[in-house]
Structure 1
């Protein structure tokens, strides 16, 4: 799948394809935020498959996940991490997943159906 704009529950969502270079730094996050805004519909959310995130994202002590989340929040674009993260068993990471899923800016979703359900609320 290639990167594409989709409308889910009437919300413009920029979906990153599962193949491609990883989001591995601040510049990659900014490129993704800019790409989300270049489709004429100003995507409100960006969906990033777990396969496109560098391993530092899943180690909270690296600070990478927090930096990425803050960038998206600052620019008003929601961030949905797509895929199973249960294999990342660190308690701090799983606590962060649980807490972010209570909010409105960063979500961890198993699949696109779960994202659609969250966008409905």
Structure 2
């Protein structure tokens, strides 16, 4: 895992990259938040969707809700970046749409969009 800190519009944002899956369950999400906070002191994270297990994107499991609730509880905003067009689930598309209207969790296509969004909320 590599964590790079950027500043945009006066807001510090952690860009997390990894060649492996980092979030597989609630505890691994908490570990990621703690690591980012400890290493770079940020509570805004950009993470590629490839670093999150596929079960997260299956809303029939409670995984996405449980994990994202922890981000909200610990006041950490996250932008998950990648191509979400391969997912055919209407409920997932609705979930992404509603999340993007909020202030804490975003599903965006690239790092530039993510850092811009996280610097504005």
TM-score by length of 1: 0.89
The CA deviation string for residues 56-98 of structure 1, in whole angstroms up to 9 with x for no partner, is: 0110111111111100000000011011111111000000000
1:10 aligns with 2:10: yes
Gaps of 5+ in 1: none
| CA distance in 1 between partners of 2:60 and 2:71 (Å) | 19
CA shift in 2, pair 1:16/1:111, >3 Å: same
Runs (4+) off by over 3 Å: none
Aligned to 2:98: 99
- Larger displacement relative to structure 2 (44-53 or 109-118): 109-118
- Larger displacement relative to structure 2 (55-64 or 16-25): 16-25
| CA distance in 2 between partners of 1:90 and 1:32 (Å) | 27
The DSSP-based 3-state class of the residue aligned with 1:101 is helix
| CA distance in 2 between partners of 1:117 and 1:15 (Å) | 12
Deviation (angstroms), 1:47: 1.5
Conservation of the 8 A alpha-carbon contact between 1:109 and 1:115: yes
**Higher RCO (C-alpha under 8 Å, 6+ residues apart):** 2
Count, aligned residues: 120
Aligned to 2:62: 63
Gaps of 5+ in 2: none
Deviation (angstroms), 1:9: 2.9
The DSSP-based 3-state class of the residue aligned with 1:79 is strand
Aligned to 1:109: 108
Deviation (angstroms), 1:102: 0.4
Aligned to 2:21: 21
| CA distance in 2 between partners of 1:116 and 1:5 (Å) | 11
